[in-house]
Structure 1
Amino acid sequence: MYDFHVRSLYSAGCRYDIEKMVKAAIKKKIKLVYIADFYEINEKKDWDMSFDLYEYRNEIQRINKKYDEIEILSAIELGIDESEYGRFDALMDNVQVDMIILSTHKVNGVYLSDERFYSEKHTLEIYEEYYTEILESIRSFDNFDVVGHLDLIDRFKERYYMDLEFTKYKKIISDILKEIIEKDKSIEINTSGYHSIVNRPYPKKEILTMYKKLGGEKIVIGSDADKPEFIGYKHKELISDLKDIGFNHITVYRKRIPHMVRF
């Protein structure tokens, strides 16, 4: 069993260091884990949520050498403003990680958890703005490997009284998935949704089914765990569901190079 998205002290809100998270993964008999802490680059540099990537990568490598039972790889979950693509590219010229997950947590500079994003808007408008942000990011930026938790917007639907049928916005989802396939990227299936109101992974089954029908093959599975008990959460059940849809492989990245591995 693999987990492509585990966080540590390098992420705000996580109280556990990398080694403690790795030990928990070993206890769960996980054979490969990516430490993928959140790394955000903002137009206003003082608002960055960043850390020393050299130190981070070296700490992961140190722990990887210490434990034979598991392979530990380096990743980041990237949030980035469009104006900062060049700054991030320059940074990546000087430091190597194994995988980059591109995630959308805000639209037009406003976080999805902020009620300002939802005020005085119809539900369809909210969804269109969110998915347009994702589509434009994928079209204009290439320095990533995986698109993270694609339909995270659903996490907030009860808080802001949103409920929209998939058919109402499936066209833009189709455009996003085609772009991901065209650029040969992966999508993350993120099991943190089981801890939220949606009680399912991100993205939903309808999106995964569409992705497969469009020819999408590259997927990774991540828990987004910030506590040891959440590592690998529901992954066995999820793999069974993915096989039913038609997926047979996950995509392992080492030094940003993808390798297809059968479940």
Structure 2
Amino acid sequence: MQGFENLSDCHLHCHFSSDSEASPESMIDNAVRLGLSHICFTDHNDYDYPKEDGKTVFLLDLDAYLEKISVLKKIYKDKIDVRIGVEQGLQPHLCEQINNYDPAHRLDFIIGSTHLVDGSDPYYPSFWEHHSPKESICTYFENIYKSICCCDNFDVYGHLDYVVRYAPKKDADYQPADYTDLLDMILKKLIENGKGIEINTAGLRYGLKEANPCCFILKRYRELGGEILTTGSDAHKPQDMAFAFDIIVDLLKDCGFSYYTLFHQRKPEFIRL
């Protein structure tokens, strides 16, 4: 046990996501070993994601997913609080479909995130081929703003500067202050709509200097009055769970936060750091 009993990992993927082979049982077992107080599975649903090797990917079988995790939630209830969420890929042209997702309100939590900009994922080198890194990052942030202006069915925005994970030089030349106007538009709209953001430590695992989003964005969100913030590792396998969680408390306090947030039945619960 590593002393994470006051922390929660609320961004996790298992084999219900196309990019993970981990069983949900293996993820939960490791969460118990780590001493986490809560976890929330947030498997991917990304409409219109390009097929890979001719196969449809990132379309979640929500019914099967809910059935499986609900059973495990009961099995492990005396060891850890398991919650059920989704990471929903947001795109402006899909807003009606996204806003009508899970009409029976069975989920605890929805992360909204951007993986695709005009059908292209920054994960692939082709995203960066036709414009400078700065122009591509601007396009990514502009797309986030368009998405949150029409997509409302989510609770926090995930890994807000995800795009820099895959930039040609990662975050070596990334200066978030260069995008202040765009970032302020995004953060103000999220706050106005009652949405939060997350700190996602996978950026550190991918070799960035900071988590996603960086401290500049975390501080600015707090300065603008934002209070809803979840913590997640974006782990796709057990050994990556709670990655760098030993630095989270001090980092968030330095950014002006006294609490982090959990969601239950889509309602926030505030936990003192």
Provide TM-score, normalisation by structure 1: 0.93
Q: 1:154 aligns with which of 145, 159, 164?
A: 164
Give the match for residue 147 of structure 2: 137
Q: 1:63 aligns with which of 60, 72, 91?
A: 72
Please list, as runs of the form range in 1=range in 2, the aligned pairs for 1:119-134 lying within 5 A after superposition.
119-134=129-144
How far did residue 43 of structure 1 move?
8.1
Give the match for residue 54 of structure 1: 63
How far did residue 164 of structure 1 move?
3.9
Deviations 1:37-93, CA, capped at 9 Å, x for gaps: 111112889856213212211211111111111000001111143332222333421
Give the match for residue 103 of structure 1: 113
Q: Which 10-residue stretch deviates more, 79-88 or 19-28?
A: 79-88
**Partners of 2:49 and 2:204 in 1: CA distance:** 33
Contact in 1 for aligned 2:91/2:114 (Cα 8 Å): no
Contact in 2 for aligned 1:118/1:160 (Cα 8 Å): no
Give the match for residue 253 of structure 1: 263
Structure 1 position 26 matched with structure 2 position 32: yes
Deviations 1:165-192, CA, capped at 9 Å, x for gaps: 2222111111111111111111011011
Q: 1:175 aligns with which of 185, 190, 195?
A: 185
Structure 1 residues 160 and 99: alpha-carbon distance in aligned structure 2, compared to 1, 3 A threshold: closer
Give the match for residue 46 of structure 2: 40
RMSD of aligned Cα (Å): 2.0
Structure 1 position 9 matched with structure 2 position 15: yes
Instruction: Name the aligned partner's letter for residue 59 of structure 1.
Output: K
**Partners of 2:216 and 2:99 in 1: CA distance:** 34
Contact in 2 for aligned 1:42/1:81 (Cα 8 Å): no
Contact in 2 for aligned 1:189/1:221 (Cα 8 Å): yes
Identity %: 30
Structure 1 residues 160 and 181: alpha-carbon distance in aligned structure 2, compared to 1, 3 A threshold: closer
Stretches (4+) displaced over 6 A: 43-46
Provide TM-score, normalisation by structure 2: 0.90
Structure 1 residues 86 and 217: alpha-carbon distance in aligned structure 2, compared to 1, 3 A threshold: same
Give the match for residue 235 of structure 1: 245
Instruction: Name the aligned partner's letter for residue 61 of structure 1.
Output: S
Q: 2:227 aligns with which of 217, 224, 241?
A: 217
**Partners of 1:160 and 1:220 in 2: CA distance:** 24
Contact in 1 for aligned 2:11/2:40 (Cα 8 Å): yes
Give the match for residue 118 of structure 1: 128
Deviations 1:191-244, CA, capped at 9 Å, x for gaps: 111111314210001111111111111100000111111111111311111112
Counterpart secondary structure, 2:46:
strand
Give the match for residue 87 of structure 1: 97
Contact in 2 for aligned 1:25/1:33 (Cα 8 Å): yes
**Partners of 2:19 and 2:114 in 1: CA distance:** 18
**Partners of 1:82 and 1:48 in 2: CA distance:** 20
Counterpart secondary structure, 1:11:
coil
**Partners of 2:168 and 2:128 in 1: CA distance:** 12
Contact in 2 for aligned 1:43/1:84 (Cα 8 Å): no
